[in-house]
Amino acid sequence: MKFTFVDILDKTAWKDKVPAFAKENGLENHIVLVDESKFDNTFFSNFETWKGNGIPFTYFRKGDKTGEIEGSMSEEMLNEKINSFLK
């Protein structure tokens, strides 16, 4: 299982906060910084529900199976979703 974290909003944090968070949590190779101004009108068509206005957003994929959760989730919700992809 791989987690990738994407920050599209707070560019000021990119220089200091994001790298520090990544290092502290061993996530240096799992964070992608995206400049939202570079998105064209088709970017959000890749998702069923997310249109970019809700953060956090979690996208799950295993093979052809996908899932999306917009908003925060509990550890129980996350484990349930992950387990649904392992069946």
- pLDDT tens string 14-64: 777 778 888 888 888 887 777 777 778 788 888 888 887 777 888 888 889
Query: Coil, helix or strand for 87?
Result: coil
Q: In which band, very low, low, confident or very high, does the pLDDT at 12 lie, cut at 50, 70 and 90?
A: confident
Q: For the chain, how far is it from start to end, CA to CA, in angstroms? A: 14
Contact 85, 78 (CB under 8 A): no
pLDDT digits (tens, 9 = 90+) for 57-75: 888 888 899 999 988 889 9
DSSP string, 3-65: --EEE-S-HHHHTTHHHHHHHHTT-TTSEEE--GGG--TTGGGGSSS--S-SSSEEEEEETTE
Q: In which band, very low, low, confident or very high, does the pLDDT at 76 lie, cut at 50, 70 and 90?
A: very high
